[in-house]
Amino acid sequence: MGWQKKILRVDLTAGTCVAEPLNMDWANQYVGARGLATRYLMEGMDPAADALSPENNLIFANGPLGGTMASTSGRYVVVTKGPLTGAVACSNSGGKFGAELKFAGYDLLIVTGKSEEPVYLLIEDDDVSIKSAAHLWGKTVWKTEETLKAQHHSEDMKVASIGVAGEQGVYYACIVNDLHRAAGRSGVGAVMGSKGLKAIAVRGSRGIRVDDPKRFMQVVKEKNAKLWIDPSRKGLTKTGTLAMIDVMQSFGGLPTNNFKDVQFDGVGKINHKAVTTKDRNGHQNLITNKACFGCTIACGRIAHVDKDHFTVSNRKEYWHASGGLEYETAFAFGPVVGVDDVNALTFANYLMNEHGMDPISFGVTLAAAMELYEMGVLTLEQTDGIPLTFGNAEALTVMAEKTGKFEGFGQELALGSKRLCEKYGHPELAMVVKGQEFAGYDSRAMQGMGLGYATGNRGACHLRHDTFTQDFEDIGTTGKAEACKTSQDDVSAIDSVGICLFTASAWDLGDLADQLDAACEGEWTAERLRESGERTWNLERLFNMKAGLTMADDTLPPRMLNDPVKTGTAKGNVNELDVMLPEYYSLREWSESGVPTDAVLKRLDLGAFSL
């Protein structure tokens, strides 16, 4: 148990909703969430299909620990083919939506086809219906959630929806649940919009059965105690991830002005100290922290914008608390675009949640546009009269809103960095891998991070591997390939269990296996989980290769490979991908051109997917 052993298939073309048993053979091999959804995706579509066509599948998936009393069990994933990358997309979110879907009785929700008219999906346990969303189309995420809760007289209803960005196909549109938690990366919201699906509203009343309740409660208690005393957990509770901005500034890996620099003079105005200190107007940005379902970490931040700030002084609708700055949002609205106005950063974050867009991709795309503007490639006339200069807080917030509403130059920013820079003749300025924008770590200062970006199955991402410790301890390449490969497999396993990656500082795979073993039938060990993670990683790789990607996509922008970093611990370094990549392929038992060999496919029972 742990699983509900049931999935829900919704065919929007046919207008049908059908429940069916979960394939337990696949569950035993892929566990749940990321792994299991990828297995269903591989079965359900041609990887070569257009990501924004009806042929794409959109899968919402829980893991076996999702919705249980295990800590951080509110995580769910959205798996699909990403329009931003043309690769497999697995976007992870917290909040309460995922657990509610499981309480309604479903491990996975698979959406296929396309509705000719806008619709939303209403799930109330076994009662599932497709309803007209004519009154919701064109509304923001926040308005959509408010409208659905009022319409169904249910404050307890959990809603995942898209804004205009998703409707209009902004390449990095996301799916937002619970107002400010998001399946953020790779454009999963654009896939939802392409299907005419505005929202999913869920009410679930069922519990989740576990195999050995008494042992499960005891194991969870032990693991929670271990998590509680962990120094990283304490840090995340106190400061959220925003503390990382001081670390990256000190280390010299904080991407600044579209990755031209790695240290930012304005960091003291946007760091944890800044958001917890009253400014000269007596305004303190941070209000409190917040936890997702079942979480004992509570890294989430709740903040508010100063009412006198230029962004909201005449807009009372924004005089409320909402999601505050985390490291990635602070990086994406701060250093990488050169802005040090904490209220502008916070307002930009509001806009991302309200309109449903990935902050990382938006920020890095705006940074590329700013570099194009400062080079003279873009003009004031093209940018709606807004000077796109690094450090311009007004440009940040105005362009965030224009993109969210798909207006003016926002329609250009909606393309993402790769397509924007190609359109204006400077593809080298796009800080992307496979079309997806870098996160807030410079890959010249952090070699392992660069390898993780380059080999990431969903493109550049900091959450698909974990080489932080190795990169901070050693600026060279030694051991990075092995650390990258091993952690990719481990993270794949963690993402498949249905709990949060932020437990990983305290819990190893053995701790997860102990909880799974009590919750689910069968015997679960760390080794079995790691093998499952490796299987998932290889299956994602096979999906991408069937979609047309090759080893040529396992690379970094020329700036990372050729331009030495100017300051910081790794001053003078470039990323030595050419050293690490062959070793990485070898460790993965892939050919020299990055193709999984028959031997590894056989070992992982993936022979049926051989290229």
Partner 1 sequence: MKVKLDLSGELDDQLPDSAVQAWATPDGGSLAQLVSSLPFADRVALTSVNGVMVPPDKRNAYILNDGDEVMMLPPIKGG
Question: Which residues of the shown chain bind partner 1 in the complex (CB under 8 A)?
Answer: 231-232, 234-236, 238-241, 243-244, 246-247, 249-251, 272-273, 299, 326-328, 439, 441, 462-463, 466, 468-469, 472-475, 502, 504-505, 568-569, 571
Return d(Cα 90, Cα 78) in angstroms, integer.
6
Pair 575, 438: CB distance under 8 Å? no
- Nearer to partner 1 by Cβ, of 218 and 567: the residue is 567
Pair 490, 466: CB distance under 8 Å? yes
Element (H, E) at 238: helix 231-239
Return d(Cα 482, Cα 480) in angstroms, integer.
5
Return d(Cα 484, Cα 573) in angstroms, integer.
19
Minimum distance, C-beta of residue 86 to partner 1, in the bound complex (Å) = 25
- Nearer to partner 1 by Cβ, of 34 and 272: the residue is 272
Minimum distance, C-beta of residue 274 to partner 1, in the bound complex (Å) = 11
Minimum distance, C-beta of residue 49 to partner 1, in the bound complex (Å) = 32
Minimum distance, C-beta of residue 503 to partner 1, in the bound complex (Å) = 11
Strand pairing partners for 177?
A: 160, 181
Minimum distance, C-beta of residue 569 to partner 1, in the bound complex (Å) = 6
Minimum distance, C-beta of residue 571 to partner 1, in the bound complex (Å) = 8
Query: Among candidates 552, 568, 559, which has minimal Cα distance to 471?
Result: 568
- Nearer to partner 1 by Cβ, of 398 and 461: the residue is 461
Minimum distance, C-beta of residue 492 to partner 1, in the bound complex (Å) = 16
Q: What is the DSSP track for 123-186?
A: EETTEEEEEE-TTTTT--HHHHHHHHHHHTT-TT-EEEE--HHHHHT-TTB-EEETTTEEE-ST
Return d(Cα 240, Cα 234) in angstroms, integer.
9
Query: Among candidates 189, 187, 51, 183, which has minimal Cα distance to 459?
Result: 187
User: Mapping DSSP to helix (H, G, I), strand (E, B) and coil, where does residue 59 land?
Assistant: strand
Tell me which DSSP letter residue 269 carries. Answer: G
- Nearer to partner 1 by Cβ, of 327 and 409: the residue is 327
Minimum distance, C-beta of residue 345 to partner 1, in the bound complex (Å) = 16
- Nearer to partner 1 by Cβ, of 115 and 573: the residue is 573
CB neighbours of residue 152 within 10 Å: 15
- Nearer to partner 1 by Cβ, of 81 and 272: the residue is 272
- Nearer to partner 1 by Cβ, of 232 and 555: the residue is 232
- Nearer to partner 1 by Cβ, of 68 and 467: the residue is 467
- Nearer to partner 1 by Cβ, of 240 and 255: the residue is 240
Minimum distance, C-beta of residue 271 to partner 1, in the bound complex (Å) = 8
CB neighbours of residue 156 within 10 Å: 10
Measured in degrees and rounded to the nearest 5, phi and psi for residue 92 equal -110, 135
The owner of tokens 């309604």 is 104
Q: How, if at all, do strands 16-21 and 119-124 pair? A: unpaired
- Nearer to partner 1 by Cβ, of 102 and 301: the residue is 301
Q: Where are the alpha helices (DSSP H) in 11-70?
A: 24-30, 33-44
Minimum distance, C-beta of residue 327 to partner 1, in the bound complex (Å) = 5
